[in-house]
Structure formats: C-alpha cells, structure tokens
Amino acid sequence: MRVNSVVRLAKGNASRGLAFGRNLREDEKRPYSETINKAMDYLGIQNRALIIHAPSFPAKLSSGEDPKTGTPYGQNEFLDFIKMHGFNSVQLGPNGKLNRKDTSPYTSSVFAKSPLLIDYPQLKSDEFASILSDEEINRKVSKIEIPEENYTYSDFDEANKISNALLNKAWINFKDKLSNGDDKAQKLNNEYEKFQQENAFWLNDYAVLDSIAESYGTDFYPNWNKEDRELIKKVKQGDYNAKNRYNQILSQDSANVYKFTQFLVDKQAKSDAQKRDVSYIGDLLVGGSSFDELINEDVFLKGYKLGCNDGGPFNSPQLWGMSVVDPDKLFNKDGSLGPSGEYLKTKLEKALSDSKNIRIDHAIGLVNPYLYEENTVQYAQRPDENGNLVKYPIREKLHSGHISKLGIDKNGNFRKVLNKIILPTLKEHGINPKDVVWEDLGWDSTGVFYEEFKNKEHLNGISGLMWNKGTEAPKDNWAYIGCHDNPPLQQMINDKSLTNQEPWKVDYLAQSMYPADYQYQERMQFREKIKSNPKEYMKAKFADLMNSTKKIQISFMDFFGVNQQYNKPGTVGNQNWTLRLNPNYKDTYYKSLSSDDNAINMPEILSMSVNAKVNDDIQYGKVNYNKRHEMQPLINELNHWAGVLKEKE
C-alpha cells in the first residue's frame, strides 16, 4: 500500500498542532529573499552556513515515508527554504559509515560512506534502473509521524534494519534485471564496474572486514580472534591460506551487497551535488574508523594515540584513542609523498568527493598533534560539582605532549603537512584555503601550529562567540555562537560560566548595537530591554554574530528554535548525535516566530545589525550622515518582513 499520509502525535488537545504562524506566500518569497541578501551583502557576509549533520535532516513530507534517520540527498525543498532565509551553504558532519553501536560521525569511516544516507525513492528512478519499487519501500518504511515538538530523533537501530532489508532487496533486483538483459540495469552495471575499479584500493578490504564484523556484532577488532584481526595483513604478506579465506568472504552476498551499497550512495552523492544551489561543506575527520586503522596500520605510528592537551574533566587531557600517521612515512627522501602522506592526501580527496568546501577537524592535529603513549594511561576518580564520580586520566602519569616536544618527529615532517599535502590538494579541487573551515580550537603550548598556520600560511580559523566579541573577531574567520558540540543559545544563556564572560555582558551587546555617541539614550533603553527579556537578549547575540565576520555559521538548533542539544561532548548517551528536525519544520518554524518563541527571525536580526553598522560607520567617519537616509529603505524592508513572519495564519 502506498503511504502518503502523515500521523500527528499531539499532546493534549489534538488541534493544538494545527495553529501555525503564517507561511510566506509564493509572491512574497522572492522579494523576501532579495531583502535578506541585500542586508547580508551590506554587512559583508559572503559565506552563510547552516550547521546540520546528515542524520538531522527532516523526513520529506512529499514522500510520506520516514526511514528513521535523515539524509542530505534529494532535499531540494529544505534547501530552497534555508536559501530563502539567507543561507548559501550547509556544514555537514562526516558522512562515513558508522561503527556498529556507535552513532558518533567522528568515529566513522574515512572511505566508506554511510548506507543510511541513501534516499530510497531515488532507487525507483530510471537512473537507478528501478531497483526498488513503491511496494517494496512501503513494506519496510513506516509512514511519517509528526510530533508536536519542533524536533524528533533518529532511530539508528530501526534505520539499520530498514537499510539492510531494502539494500539486500535492491541487490537481488539488480542481479535479476541484469540476467534478464535490462538495458538500464546494464548501464548501471557499467557504472558499478567503473566504481569498483576506481575504489579497489579500499573497497574489497572494507567489504571483507564488514562481513567479519557482522559475525561478531562489533567493528572493534580487538574483540575479534587473531585470525580475523590479522587477515588483511597476512593477505598483504602473500599468505596462501589467508588469500583463500579472503576471496571466499569476498564472494559472499554480504560482501557484494556492501560494495554495491557503497556504489549507490556514492552515485547519489555526486549526482545530488550537481543539482543543488546550496553547497555542502564536508568534514575531514582527524581520526577514522577501526577499519581504517586495521587496513592501513602500516601508515600509523606504533604505541601512540591522538588526543587533545585540554578539555577533559578537571583540566585533564582528552584521550581520543585515535591512531596518528607515522611522521617518518609522510615523505620519501626525494620529497615525494610516502605511504602516510599518500594516506592523508587520499583521505582529504575522499572527503572532498561530493563537497565544494571542507571543514578540517582539529587542524592542530595535522601540524603538531598531541600524543600520549598508550601503556602509560592511568585513571582516577573524583566527584564533580554535583557530587557524581567522574573518571579522568592522570596527566602526571602520562607520557604525552605535542609531537614537536616528544622527539618522535625528528625531521619536522608534520610541520610540512599543510604546505606539501593539504594546501596543494585543496587547490587541485579549486578551493581557496582561506575559505576552508579550519577548526583551530585547542591549545598548542609550543606555538608550532600557530607559527605554521597563522604566521607562515596566513590561514583563518574560527571565532567562537561564546568566548569572543563579535565586533572584535577577525573578519576573515568563520564565526558562530554554537556548533554541533554546543547547546542551543536558549540553554547557553543560563550557563553562568559563559554569561559571566565579557562577550555576554549586556553593556557590550548594547554598545555593539548602538555604537554611536548620539545613540546613548537608545543604548541605555536597549540595555534594559535585553537585561530583562531573554528572547531580546538572544536576538542581540545573533545580531552581534551578523556584525562579526565575512563567514558565519548558525546551528540548526538555533535557527529553528529547537531547545535540545545535538551532542554533549565527553558523554555517552542514547540521544547524542540523534537530534533531528521535525518533518513539518516549515510550519513549526513559522509557528515559533508568530508566538515570539526562539526561532531566528532573520530580517529582524539583520535590521538590528544593519542599523548598528550604519551608525558605527558614521561614528568613525567611514561614511557621512547621509548614509542613514540611504540605508533607511533597506531597514524599513527588513522591519516589514520581520513583522510578516510574526503574523498569525
């Protein structure tokens, strides 16, 4: 049975879910968008990214089906919506295949993409030889349920069951169509064979390991027996018995389904990239999955793991347990790339395969990584401020430090990684390194990273406006108030450890919005308003963001007014990495605006920012007072649309 209906899960009076704010009419969308973009251009904001990882994308009401987690593919309606509100890119998280029982995208695979990204309705099309039918999809995928809240959660266990069932069926259908001489299936098979050839350096190994992992129920290979752990290594050594077993596993349907699935998700990703107006920003993992480490173990440094010098409980380091490439294998004697260097380059190219830009996760780890010796790790426990016992590594017991201080990288090869591997690869893909989202957060007490990154290459990092004043942020930095690791702003404003910082003070925010001396009275009135009204205070924080840099990011939690956190760093919980937009995100967004709730009213925020910039420019003699009259029509337009968004349906 074809399912096109939706189910509303309302609490209390069912009619409550039907009272929404007014959606923009078709004839209003273009002038609204033009006004938003005029304001962004005046403020100099060139790059405007919404932070939303793939599983957090909403189910598509047009299909009527919910595979229990999100996908960024085929999301034209959603992308049109955020584009209308001023965004021109989306910051995705890593899209690698997740480890079993671990939903963190930051421990996912470098090379294999997540099968959960597949948009099943596309598999009904001629482009995919109609390898799934409506009936087959509807039999496995339940109809959409719309909660009253403006969010829902991914169910990865159920999503994996759906994925396994449908992709196994797609493989069977594909083989049947091929055997029956179907022209579209033959065309698809030609593409599949090319994909296998181009990805042979990783695809077969991953397929074999995935089949083995399925038998154990875990990707964590230390829990496997020795024969399985060492299979890939022995095959590379030419062991006859290992080769036979490898080929036997590779011939099984489970391995074939794995490879075919990787082809499907890769094809969808590249096809989708050609159709979007809004570009996607990929994410280069600092680490990788257990499969990445097992297959490429000869490129990694033995005995050491990657972490971060700070950020753990009680000022302890963070121990991530991730392997780090061997510095002595980064470059050959003639200066060409060695095995570790080739691995890093291929890793970056894979992350760029369907994205126009990239976020570099923990960029310090590329230049001067913080390492710790595995066999020196010892833990202690002590109560936190709430009396809960917290486990933390004892810094004094660790043999650890940045690689420049450990005496491991004697030739200083890590210092060459930016200039010899990362930057040339970006340029090969037509990416300006200054546009890249360099996640430069962290502490490098040696200064090596900043010497290479800032002083030599003049690259730009991130201004987190939790700790920085927007008006003082470097203009070429990316800037955000919160990202995937932060609570939404409506929760942050209750955190005294944050709000006692200078960037959160009402005096600073009032000064940033009314900077001119002749605005003293308005400034004082605004100060009192944001001091007594949390919603007005949050608007001021976002207006400060708009006046910060050329490149901004806003989390989907903040834009849509979702009062839940996507990920709580340092914790393991069922809801980490699962927060997702309600399928009815448009209606609940407008409802939030019309009820003066916590979603971002973009024209209202921009009106505040434009007004502040005009008066700041007048104050410091950058323009004359006539600029106020010149910009007033734009401010009036913004105020008009801000009012429209607050209207009831």
Length of the chain: 649
**pLDDT at residue 605, as a whole number:** 98
Confidence at residue 61, expressed as pLDDT on a 0 to 100 scale: 93
What pLDDT, on a 0 to 100 scale, did the predictor assign at position 572?
74
Across 220-285, the runs of DSSP E, i.e. the strands, are 279-284
pTM score, two decimals?
A: 0.94
C-beta pairs of 347-350 under 8 Å, 24+ apart in sequence: 347/110, 347/111, 347/284, 347/285, 347/288, 348/284, 348/421, 348/422, 348/425, 348/426, 349/425, 349/429, 350/110, 350/111
**The predicted structure's pLDDT at residue 2:** 33
Domain that holds residue 250: 6-284
pLDDT at res. 18: 44
Furthest C-alpha separation in the chain: 84
Euclidean distance between CA atoms 29 and 231, whole angstroms: 58
Whole-number average pLDDT of the chain: 93
What does the alpha-carbon distance between residue 97 and residue 114 come to, in Å, rounded to a whole number?
4
Per the domain annotation, does 293 fall within a domain? no
Distance CA(137)–CA(163), nearest Å, equals: 10
Q: How many CB atoms lie within 10 A of CB 392?
A: 19
- Phi first, then psi: give them for residue 55, nearest 5 degrees: -65, -15
**Within a domain: 558:** no
Over pLDDT 70: what percentage of the chain? 97
DSSP notation for 403-463: HHHHT--TT-GGGGHIIIIIHHHHHHTT--GGGSEE---S--TT-HHHIIIIIIT----EE
Give the distance, in angstroms, between the CA of residue 178 and the centroid of all CA atoms in the same chain.
Answer: 38
Of 341-350, 506-515, 531-540, 563-572, the range with the lowest mean pLDDT is 563-572
Q: Are strands 370-373 and 304-308 parallel, antiparallel or unpaired?
A: antiparallel
Say if CB 457 and CB 419 are below 8 A apart: yes
Alpha-helix residue ranges (DSSP H) falling in 501-625: 506-513, 520-532, 534-546, 556-559, 585-594, 602-619
In angstroms, the CA 95 to CA 284 distance is: 10
pLDDT band (50, 70, 90) for residue 625: confident
DSSP state for residue 515 in the 8-state scheme = -
Q: Is residue 177 in some structural domain?
A: yes
Q: In this model, does residue 171 exceed pLDDT 80? A: yes
Q: What is the pLDDT of residue 386?
A: 80
Among the listed residues 304, 404, 443, 346, the one whose alpha carbon sits nearest the alpha carbon of residue 111: 346
C-alpha closest to that of 376 among 307, 444, 442, 325: 307
Please report the pLDDT score of residue 649 as a whole number.
79
**197 lies in some domain:** yes
Look at residues 163, 171, 97 and name the one whose alpha carbon lies nearest to residue 128: 171
Residue 439 vs residue 649, higher pLDDT: 439
Q: Which residue has the higher pLDDT, 163 or 4?
A: 163
Cβ contact 74:91 at 8 Å: no
User: How many structural domains does the chain have?
Assistant: 1
> 175-221 pLDDT, tens per residue?
999 999 999 999 999 999 999 999 999 999 999 999 999 999 999 99
In angstroms, the CA 110 to CA 349 distance is: 10
Residue 7 above 80 pLDDT?
Answer: no
Q: Which residue has 């919603």 as its token pair?
A: 535
Residue 412 lies in a domain: no
- pLDDT tens digits along 40-52: 999 999 999 999 9
Cα dihedral value 241, 288, 564, 578, nearest 10 = -20
What is the average per-residue pLDDT within 568-594? 91
621: which DSSP letter?
A: T
User: Does some domain include residue 82?
Assistant: yes
The three-state secondary structure class of 98 is coil
- In a domain, residue 444? The reply is no
- pLDDT digits over 134-149, tens only? 999 999 999 999 998 9
pLDDT above 90: percentage of residues in the chain:
87
pLDDT of amino acid 20 = 54
Whether residue 519 is contained in a domain is answered as no
Inter-residue contact 559 to 549 (CB < 8 Å):
no
**Which pLDDT score is estimated for 566?**
97
**548-569 pLDDT, tens per residue?**
999 999 999 999 999 999 999 8
Contacts (Cβ under 8 Å, ≥6 apart) of 33: 83, 84, 85, 86
Phi-psi category of residue 412: left, alpha or beta, with phi > 0 → left and psi -120 to 50 → alpha: left
CATH number of the domain where residue 11 is located: 3.20.20.80
